[in-house]
C-alpha cells in the first residue's frame, strides 16, 4: 500500500439551511478554495443565543459541503484506490459521482471511502457532506468539517491489511545486565485479498538505513508470525525515544508485491501495586498533563506543525506524559510523542449512554463503541508512546450496575484487541457519588433523564462553589462504594480530583494501582507527595497542559463586578486553565509544576496583574494563580504582589539591586509585596545557604511594534510559521499594559490562516486580518503553499508603528511528520 496526502484542490460550501436536494445544485455555485485540514466552525459567527453555548465557546454549528475531483490512474484495474479520513466532525457522507460510498457519525473515528467504482483514466466528482447543526454536542469546542488530514491509499490485490501489522516487544535486556544484550520482538502480519501461491513475508528492522535484524516466513492462511532478535538494541523511553524503521514486505516469487513501513520503538510495559509502572524494567513516574484536540487560534484543524509545537513545548517544560482529553489523539500528535519521548494515555470518549450535552454521542454509543475502539487501537498499537488506554472520562453511569457491566465489556474488548497495554477509566469520586444517589441514575437508554442528572459539568460547578469539596468528597465512604466496582473492570484506577482518597484506597485495596487522571494544577505539591511515597500510585495528569477553546471560564479569573463562576457568559471564549495559554505562553502554573518536580533550579517569577490591583478577584480552583511573568506595567502605581517558585529553601528578591528580603517558600512558592517601580526584578534561590539559580524580569522601555518568527522556514503547503507581533522595546521586553490594534498582511507564496491572542473574553475572531493585542501580544500563523520564494509578513498598528519580517518558502512536497520535526 502506498499513501499520499489528498488535501489540496478542495472547495468548501457553507449552508445552514441546505436541504437534501440542494447538494446537486452546488456544481454551479463557486465554493471557497481550501486545503485540508479545515475547521469550518472557527470562521463562523459567535452568538450568545443558541449555538454551542458556553460549552463550545459560543460558536455555531452548520452544514457544509466539500468538493474535489480525482482522475483514476490507468493502473486502476490492478490497483484499488480509496480515501482515508483521519477525522471529520459532524455526520459525514462521502459521495463519488453522486453515489454514497461511505458514512461516518463518529467525529474521532478514522474511516475509508472506496474509489473502486471509478474507471481507469476517468475523472470522478468527490463530495463530502458534513452535518454539524445539532449543537451543543460536546462540553468543549469541537470544530466542524474535515478537520484532520485525508490520504489517498493505493492497494494491491493481495496486500498487507490496513491494520495488518502488530509489533510486540517480547523481552528487552534487564537493567544493569552485563555482556551481550538482545531484544526479542514478535511481528504478526495479517493479509487480505485473493491468496497467491508461494507467498512469504519478510520483516526487517532498520536503523539509519541499515538492516539490524530480519526474519522471513511463510504465510499460513492470511497471516504470518515472525520473531526478530536485535543485538545491542536501543530501547525507547521518555529520556531516550529511539525509533526504528520496521519494513515489512509481502513476497511472491521473491518479488515484493506490497510493502509497509512503521516507525516504532522497542519497549516493555509492566505495572503492579508493589513496584509501580516500569518501562523496560525501570520505574517511571508519570509527570503528566491533559490536552484537548483544538489548536487554539487554528480551531480544531489538525496541522502536524501545530501538534509538534505543542508536544515539544510540553516535553521541554518537564512533562513526560500526556492524556488525550477526552478522545483519541491525532496521528500527528502521536508521531511527535513517539519521536520526542512522551508517554500517552489515549482516551476513548467523554460519553457513554447518558447525555452530558443535548446532542452528544450518547444515543449511538452502544451501537458504535466497538468500531471506535478498533479505530483507536489500529492507530495506537505499534506506537511506543502509547502505554495506557482510558475507556472513558467521568462517566456518571459507571457508578451503577449497568455502567459497571459496560465497563467490563469495553475493557475486556480492548484487552482482546491489544493485550499489551493496561486499561484505565477516569472516575470523579464526587460525580460517582452524586450519580449513585441520584434517582435518575440508570443506563440512559431511555434518553435524557427528566430530572437533572449528575454530569461532569454539574460536579465542576458544585466543586467551584464549595471550594475543596471535590477533593475532600473522595474520602467519603459513599465515594468508595460508588467507585469500587468499576475500578475492578480496569487494570489501573484513574482518579479525577481524588488524591485525598489514595491512602485509604490503597489500604482497602492493596493490589489496586492508581493514577491521577485529572487534578488541579495547584494541588500538585500535595499530590506529588503521595505519588513519590507509594509505589502503587504511578503518577498524575494535571488539568490542563495547554489551554483550549470552550468550557468558557473554567479557569480564568474575573475581577470586581465581572461575572464569576466557572461558566462565564459571552463573549468569553477560552477555558483559561492551561499551564500554557492557547498561543503557547506559560504562566505561574507551569512555574509551580517545575518547582514541584524539580526539573530546574532556576526560580520562576510571576507578578499578579498590576492593572487589576485593588479589584476583588473571582478565583477559580482550576487556575492556581493569575500571575504573569512580567515586570513591565508602564505608568501604573500601587503594591505589586510577586510570586517566586523554587525548589530552594530560601528566596531573596532584589528590585533594582536593592534587597527586599528573604523568604522561606511554602508549597514551593515565596510571596513578596512591594510598591511597583520600573526597572529590574531579580529572584535568587538558595539551598543550604548556597545559591542554586536566579532569574530576572525587566520593565520595557519605549515599546514599538516588533515582529519575530519562531521559525523562518515554510517547508511546503502543510507547514506553519508562528509569527509574534509584540509591543516591545529594543531588547524584546514586552509592555504588558499596552494595547493596540494590529493589522497583518502576507505577500508571497503563503497565507495568513489565523490571527489571535490569549484574551479569554473578546468579540474578535481568529480568521480576520486585524486583532487587538492582549498583554502586548498578537500571534499570526502563516501557512505555506506549493510554491517557493520569499514571504513577507507585514504588520501595522495604530499607535506603535509598523513591523515586517521575511520567511523562506521552499514549496517542497513532503510528509507531514518531516516538516513538523523542525526546531
For 343-358, the pLDDT digits (tens) are 999 999 999 999 999 9
Supply the CATH classification number for the domain 2-156.
2.60.120.260
* DSSP secondary structure string for all residues of 684-726: EEEETTEEEEEEEEE---S-EEEEEES-SEE-STT-EEEEEEE
Question: Which cell numbers in the block locate residue 796?
Answer: 501595522
Distance CA 141, CA 293 (A): 9
What superfamily would CATH give domain 599-629+635-698?
Immunoglobulins (2.60.40.10)
Backbone angles phi, psi at 782, to 5 degrees: -115, 135
Supply the CATH classification number for the domain 704-820.
2.60.40.10
Under the banding of pLDDT at 50, 70 and 90, the label for residue 455 is: confident
pLDDT over 60 at 21, yes or no:
no
- The answer to whether domain 159-264 and domain 704-820 are alike in fold is yes
Strand residues in 307-358 grouped as ranges (E):
321-324, 343-347
Q: Is the dihedral of CA 757, 763, 767, 771 positive or negative?
A: negative
CA of residue 548 relative to chain centroid, distance: 10
pLDDT score recorded for residue 607:
98
Is the N-terminal amide bond of 544 cis, ω within 30° of 0?
Answer: yes
Distance CA 104, CA 106 (A): 6
Q: Is the dihedral of CA 645, 648, 652, 655 positive or negative?
A: negative
| Class of domain 285-595 as given by CATH | alpha beta
pLDDT score recorded for residue 17:
45
Burial 68-88 (b: 16+ CB within 10 A, else e): bebebeeebeebbbbbbbbbb
Burial 145-171 (b: 16+ CB within 10 A, else e): bbbbbbbbbbbbebbbbbebbbbebee
pLDDT over 50 at 24, yes or no:
no
- 405 Cβ neighbours under 8 A, 6+ residues apart: none
Under the banding of pLDDT at 50, 70 and 90, the label for residue 763 is: very high
pLDDT score recorded for residue 453:
65
pLDDT score recorded for residue 175:
84
Whose grid coordinates read 502488530?
Answer: 166
Q: Does domain 159-264 have CATH number 2.60.40.10?
A: yes
Model pLDDT for residues 127-168, shown as the tens digit of each residue: 999 999 999 999 999 999 999 999 999 999 999 999 999 999
Instruction: Count CB-CB contacts under 10 A for residue 526.
Output: 15
Distance CA 520, CA 157 (A): 53
In the chain, what are the domain boundaries? 2-156, 159-264, 285-595, 599-629+635-698, 704-820
Under the banding of pLDDT at 50, 70 and 90, the label for residue 459 is: low
Whose grid coordinates read 468543549?
Answer: 140
* DSSP classification of residue 666: B
Amino acid at each position: 500500500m502506498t499513501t499520499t496526502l489528498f488535501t489540496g484542490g478542495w472547495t468548501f460550501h457553507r449552508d445552514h439551511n441546505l436541504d437534501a436536494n440542494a447538494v446537486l445544485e452546488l456544481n454551479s455555485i463557486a465554493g471557497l478554495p481550501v486545503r485540508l485540514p479545515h475547521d469550518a466552525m472557527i470562521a463562523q459567527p459567535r452568538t450568545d443565543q443558541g449555538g454551542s453555548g458556553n460549552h463550545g465557546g459560543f460558536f455555531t454549528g452548520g452544514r457544509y459541503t466539500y468538493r474535489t475531483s480525482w482522475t483514476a490512474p490507468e493502473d486502476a484495474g490492478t490497483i484499488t484506490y480509496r480515501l482515508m479520513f483521519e477525522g471529520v466532525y459532524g455526520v459525514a457522507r462521502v459521495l463519488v459521482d453522486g453515489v454514497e460510498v461511505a458514512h461516518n457519525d463518529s467525529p474521532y473515528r478514522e474511516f475509508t471511502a472506496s474509489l473502486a467504482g471509478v474507471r481507469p483514466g476517468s475523472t470522478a466528482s468527490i463530495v463530502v457532506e458534513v452535518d454539524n447543526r445539532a449543537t451543543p454536542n460536546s462540553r468543549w469546542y469541537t470544530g466542524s468539517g474535515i478537520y484532520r488530514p485525508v490520504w489517498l491509499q493505493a492497494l494491491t490485490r493481495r496486500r498487507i491489511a490496513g491494520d495488518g501489522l502488530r509489533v510486540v516487544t517480547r523481552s528487552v535486556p534487564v537493567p544493569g545486565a552485563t555482556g551481550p544484550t538482545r531484544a526479542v520482538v514478535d511481528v504478526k502480519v495479517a493479509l487480505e485479498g485473493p491468496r497467491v501461491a508461494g507467498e512469504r513475508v519478510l520483516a526487517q528492522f532498520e536503523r539509519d538505513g541499515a538492516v539490524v535484524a530480519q526474519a522471513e516466513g511463510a504465510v499460513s492462511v492470511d497471516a504470518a508470525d515472525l520473531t526478530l532478535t536485535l543485538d545491542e538494541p536501543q530501547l525507547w523511553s521518555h529520556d531516550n525515544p529511539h525509533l526504528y524503521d520496521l519494513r515489512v514486505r509481502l513476497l511472491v516469487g521473491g518479488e515484493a508485491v506490497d510493502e509497509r513501513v512503521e516507525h516504532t520503538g522497542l519497549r516493555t510495559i509492566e505495572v503492579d501495586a508493589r513496584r509501580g509502572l516500569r518501562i523496560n524494567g525501570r520505574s517511571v513516574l508519570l509527570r503528566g498533563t491533559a490536552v484537548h484536540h483544538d489548536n487554539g487560534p487554528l480551531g480544531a484543524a489538525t496541522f502536524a506543525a501545530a501538534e509538534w509545537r505543542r508536544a515539544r513545548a510540553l516535553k521541554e517544560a518537564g512533562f513526560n506524559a500526556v492524556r488525550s482529553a477526552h478522545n483519541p489523539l491525532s496521528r500527528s500528535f502521536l508521531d511527535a510523542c513517539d519521536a520526542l519521548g512522551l508517554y500517552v494515555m489515549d482516551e476513548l470518549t467523554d460519553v457513554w449512554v447518558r447525555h452530558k450535552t443535548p446532542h452528544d454521542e450518547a444515543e449511538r454509543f452502544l451501537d458504535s463503541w466497538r468500531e471506535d475502539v478498533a479505530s483507536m487501537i489500529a492507530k495506537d498499537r505499534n506506537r511506543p508512546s502509547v502505554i495506557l488506554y482510558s475507556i472513558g472520562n467521568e462517566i456518571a453511569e459507571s457508578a451503577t450496575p449497568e455502567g459497571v457491566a459496560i465497563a467490563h465489556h469495553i475493557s475486556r474488548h480492548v484487552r482482546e484487541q491489544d493485550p499489551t497495554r493496561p486499561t484505565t477509566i477516569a472516575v470523579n469520586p464526587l460525580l460517582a457519588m452524586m450519580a449513585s444517589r441520584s434517582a435518575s441514575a440508570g443506563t440512559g437508554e431511555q434518553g435524557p433523564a427528566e430530572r437533572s442528572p449528575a454530569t461532569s459539568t454539574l460536579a465542576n460547578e458544585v466543586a467551584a462553589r464549595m471550594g475543596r469539596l471535590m477533593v475532600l468528597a473522595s474520602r467519603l465512604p459513599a465515594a468508595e462504594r460508588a467507585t469500587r466496582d468499576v475500578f475492578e473492570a480496569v487494570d489501573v484506577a484513574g482518579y479525577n480530583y481524588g488524591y485525598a482518597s489514595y491512602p485509604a484506597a490503597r489500604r482497602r485495596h492493596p493490589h489496586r494501582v492508581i493514577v491521577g487522571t485529572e487534578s488541579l494544577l495547584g494541588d500538585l505539591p500535595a499530590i506529588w507527595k503521595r505519588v513519590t511515597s507509594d509505589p502503587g500510585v504511578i503518577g498524575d495528569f494535571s488539568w490542563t497542559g495547554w489551554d483550549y477553546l470552550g468550557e468558557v471560564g473554567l479557569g480564568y479569573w474575573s475581577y470586581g463586578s465581572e461575572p464569576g463562576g466557572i461558566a462565564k457568559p459571552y463573549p468569553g471564549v477560552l477555558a483559561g486553565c492551561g499551564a500554557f495559554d492557547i498561543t503557547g505562553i506559560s504562566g505561574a502554573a507551569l512555574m509551580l509544576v517545575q518547582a514541584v518536580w524539580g526539573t530546574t533550579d532556576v526560580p520562576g517569577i510571576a507578578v499578579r496583574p498590576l492593572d487589576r490591583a485593588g479589584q476583588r478577584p473571582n478565583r477559580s480552583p482550576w487556575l492556581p494563580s493569575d500571575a504573569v511573568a512580567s515586570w513591565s506595567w508602564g505608568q501604573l502605581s500601587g503594591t505589586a504582589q510577586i510570586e517566586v517558585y523554587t525548589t530552594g529553601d530560601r528566596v531573596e528578591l532584589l528590585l533594582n539591586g536593592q534587597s527586599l528580603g528573604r523568604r522561606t517558600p511554602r508549597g514551593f512558592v515565596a510571596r513578596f509585596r512591594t510598591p511597583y517601580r520600573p526597572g529590574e526584578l531579580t529572584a535568587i534561590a538558595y539551598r543550604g545557604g548556597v545559591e542554586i539559580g536566579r532569574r530576572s524580569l525587566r520593565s520595557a522601555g519605549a515599546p514599538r511594534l516588533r515582529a519575530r518568527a519562531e521559525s523562518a522556514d515554510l517547508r511546503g503547503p502543510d507547514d506553519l510559521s508562528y509569527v509574534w507581533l509584540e509591543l516591545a522595546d529594543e531588547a524584546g521586553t514586552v509592555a504588558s499594559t499596552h494595547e493596540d490594534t494590529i493589522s497583518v498582511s502576507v505577500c508571497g507564496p503563503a497565507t495568513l490562516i489565523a490571527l489571535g491572542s490569549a484574551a479569554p473574553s473578546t468579540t474578535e475572531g481568529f480568521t480576520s486580518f486585524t486583532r487587538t493585542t492582549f498583554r502586548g501580544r498578537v500571534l499570526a500563523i502563516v501557512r505555506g503553499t506549493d510554491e517557493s520564494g520569499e514571504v513577507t509578513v507585514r504588520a501595522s498598528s495604530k499607535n506603535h508603528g509598523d513591523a515586517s519580517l521575511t520567511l523562506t518558502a521552499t514549496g517542497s512536497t513532503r510528509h507531514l511528520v518531516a516538516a513538523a520535526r523542525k526546531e
